[in-house]
Amino acid sequence: MQLTNVSAIVTGAASGLGQATARTLSDRGARVIGVDLDVSDAPAIDNVTYVRADVTQEDDVRNAVAVAAESGPLRVVVNCAGIGPSERVVGRKGVHDLALYRRVVMINLVGTFTVMAISAEEIARTEPLEDGQRGVIVNTASIAAYEGQVGQVAYASSKGGVVGMNLPAARDLAQYGVRVNTIAPGIVETPMLATVSAEFRANLASGVPFPQRLARPSEYADLVAFIVEHDYLNGEVIRMDGALRMAPR
């Protein structure tokens, strides 16, 4: 499927993976609706329109989808919005904050599902392309879904859920010509990591077999574009991690 003259939604578009993806898709001809909880500081990018939305709120998501549909046929949706706080099941201060656990799962998993489901409803209304294809949804998991580290129980739970729903979602949406794939990134050089020391980042990179560096957001964005354009790729979870397998801590 080509990206020219189609509408695309990218969540978490104000920074990190989402921003890189919004830029790449717009560079390849898509009209992008960049969704984020706070878009006040989002950079101006050609063919990217920002919409403030909470991915866990149905009305917000439906509004973003409506804006995207007005820009052209909605055919691409990329879920990048997420949070990753760290806390142990039982720590020095007692049991894991239960409200925090619910919040992580709500944003990372329920939010992803909400955007996917409501967007798929709109994609299903578009005119079919070759082989009956109408669109593609790319969700974001993490290698923590497979090798969650100490303190990642909430994050790993939420990302494991994203992995778990990938294949049944692809099967559910096959009748509408909508493909569903998931990317599970390793350690990516996002704004979150920019706050730590160069020494700490170098230590993280040293654990990656090859290439021995952190992933770049642009590499995630390029993989999204590849998935969109590869019409036979469906129901797959792709690890983008330099062969990293996370240790317990």
In a domain, 38, yes or no: yes
pLDDT value at residue 195: 65
pLDDT value at residue 75: 98
**Helix (H/G/I), strand (E/B), else coil: 120:** helix
Kindly report the CA angle at 25 between 112 and 32, in degrees rounded to 5?
A: 65
pLDDT tens for each residue of 178-222? 999 999 999 999 876 766 678 877 888 999 999 999 999 999 999
Element containing residue 114 per DSSP (H, E):
helix 111-123
Q: Point out the catalytic residue in the list 146, 155, 176, 220.
A: 155
Which of 224, 73, 50 is closest to 137 using CA atoms? 224
In a domain, 245, yes or no: no
In a domain, 69, yes or no: yes
In a domain, 191, yes or no: yes
In a domain, 91, yes or no: yes
pLDDT value at residue 150: 95
Number of CB atoms found within 10 A of residue 242's CB: 18
In a domain, 97, yes or no: yes
pLDDT tens for each residue of 120-165? 999 999 999 999 999 999 999 999 999 999 999 999 999 999 999 9
What's the token pair of residue 40? Answer: 């006040």
* Domain CATH number, residue 167: 3.40.50.720
The mean pLDDT of the chain is 96
pLDDT tens for each residue of 75-104? 999 999 999 999 999 999 999 999 999 999
pTM: 0.95
In a domain, 2, yes or no: no
Express as a percent the part of the chain with pLDDT over 90.
Answer: 93
Q: Please count the structural domains in the chain.
A: 1
Express as a percent the part of the chain with pLDDT over 70.
Answer: 98
pLDDT value at residue 211: 96
Instruction: Summarize the confidence of residues 25-32 as an average pLDDT.
Output: 98
In a domain, 249, yes or no: no
Domain that holds residue 88: 7-240
Pairing of strands 31-36, 7-11: parallel
pLDDT value at residue 193: 74
pLDDT value at residue 174: 98
* Known catalytic membership, residue 155: yes
